[in-house]
Structure 1
Amino acid sequence: MKRLFALFAVLALVLVACNGADNDVDAPEEEDAAYSLEQQPDDAQASFVSPQDGDTVSSPLTVELEAEGIELAPAGAPVVGEGHLHVMTDPPGCYDTGEIIPGPSDEAEADGHFHLGDGSESREIDLEPGTYDLCVQLADGPHTAFGQTETITVTVE
Structure 2
Amino acid sequence: MLKKIVGTVLSASFFVAQAQAQTPARVYFIEPKDGATVSSPVHVKFGVEGMKVAPAGTMGDNSGHHHLLIDGGPVQKGLVIPADDKSIHFGKGQTETDVKLPPGDHTLTMQFADGAHRSYGPEMSQTIKVHVK
TM-score (norm 1): 0.65
Partner residue of 1:62 out of 33, 38, 43: 43
Q: What amino acid is the match of 2:76? A: D
Q: Cα deviations across residues 98-124 of structure 1 (Å, max 9, x unaligned)?
A: 111024xxxx02xx1122111121011
Partner residue of 1:73 out of 43, 54, 79: 54
Distance in 1, Cα, partners of 2:108 & 2:38: 13
Determine which structure has more spread, i.e. the larger CA radius of gyration. 1
Q: Cα deviations across residues 14-57 of structure 1 (Å, max 9, x unaligned)?
A: xxxxxxxxxxxxxxxxxxxxxxxxxxx99222110010011011
Distance in 1, Cα, partners of 2:69 & 2:82: 10
Matches within 5 A, 1:80-99: 80-90=61-71, 92-99=72-79
Partner residue of 2:111 out of 137, 146, 151: 137
Q: Report how many aligned residue pairs link the two structures.
A: 110
Partner residue of 1:114 out of 72, 78, 88: 88
| Cα RMSD after superposing both structures | 1.7
**Where is the helix percentage greater, Structure 1 or Structure 2?**
1
Unpaired segments of 5 or more residues in structure 1?
A: 1-40
Matching of residue 151 in structure 1 with residue 127 in structure 2: yes
Question: Does the Cα contact within 8 Å between 1:116 and 1:123 map onto a contact in 2?
Answer: no
Structure 1 runs (4+) deviating above 4 angstroms are none
TM-score (norm 2): 0.76
Distance in 1, Cα, partners of 2:57 & 2:107: 28
Unpaired segments of 5 or more residues in structure 2?
A: 1-21
Question: Does the Cα contact within 8 Å between 2:58 and 2:64 map onto a contact in 1?
Answer: no
Give the superposition deviation at 1:78: 2.0
Tell me the residue number matched to 1:102: 82
